[in-house]
A and B are shown apart, each in its own frame.
Chain A
Amino acid sequence: MRPRDRARLLLRFGLSAASYLAVTVAGVLLFSSSQAFTWLVVATVVLLLVSLRNTWDLLVTVGDVTLARD
């Protein structure tokens, strides 16, 4: 796998994993401080953006394969 593809994969899956970690950190922070809300908002927005991109790529890829078969 080329480094560029690996970086793209890391962005795709790694950002999701980082957002889950941020949600967990926000849960831990919620016990003590109100900074948890900032972490949670950032994680939610990043998750939404990554999911939108993933959804688009997924549908384009599946559509391409289906059209190529036809």
Chain B
Amino acid sequence: MSFQTAVGGWHDFYILAGTAAATLVGLLFVGLSLHLRVVIASSEVRSLARVTLANFGAILFVALFMVIPQDRSTAAVELIASGLASLIITTPSLAAALQSQDRTLQMRPRDRDAKPGRGIAKPGPDPANATA
């Protein structure tokens, strides 16, 4: 099977993955822009944002490279380059996260752990079990 035929079978998948990545990158930019002060103030938030943007960027570029009509060796070189570039971008964030002793970034706390003032309200007593 030729390379073009093999890639053609995955064409729709990469179109869809690239579209999803581009859309989510835009949404992430909008969401972070609304809280830019927090993003600038916290290095851990910046690290997580950098890794997430690098993830979406990697998906986008992989999808682009697989959709471009080109020969096998060019696509291979582009994939290697995009993988290595993404690794280089995110390695400092990974190293910093592993060396960090404190944990200021709330890693998706469960609702039962939520405290007042952190934006998630505790549920009140169940009215069905309330005694008069």
* Given A16-B54, A51-B52: A63 touches B76 (CB 8 Å cut-off): no
Which of chain A's residues have a CB closer than 8 A to the CB of B10?
Answer: 37, 41
**What's the nearest-Cβ distance from chain A to residue B92, in Å?**
11
Chain A nearest Cβ from B41, distance in angstroms: 8
In the complex the two chains form, what is the Cα distance from A59 to B72 in whole Å?
39
**Contact-size category for A:** 35 or more
**Cα distance A59–B29 in the bound complex, in angstroms:** 11
Flag if B76 contacts A16 (CB, 8 Å): no
- For the complex of A and B, list the 3 residue pairs with the smallest distance between their C-beta atoms, beginning with the closest: A27-B79, A24-B83, A23-B83
Residues of A within 8 A of B (CB): 1, 5-6, 8-10, 12-14, 16-17, 19-28, 30-31, 34, 36-37, 40-41, 43-44, 47-48, 50-68
**Contacts A13-B93, A19-B58, A55-B52 given; 5 further ones with Cβ under 8 A?**
A12-B97, A13-B97, A31-B76, A37-B10, A55-B28
Report which B residues bind A (CB closer than 8 A): 1, 6, 10, 13-14, 17, 20-21, 24, 27-28, 31-32, 35, 38-39, 42, 45, 48-49, 51-52, 54-56, 58-59, 62-63, 66, 72-73, 75-84, 86-87, 90-91, 93-94, 97-98, 100-103, 105-108, 117-120
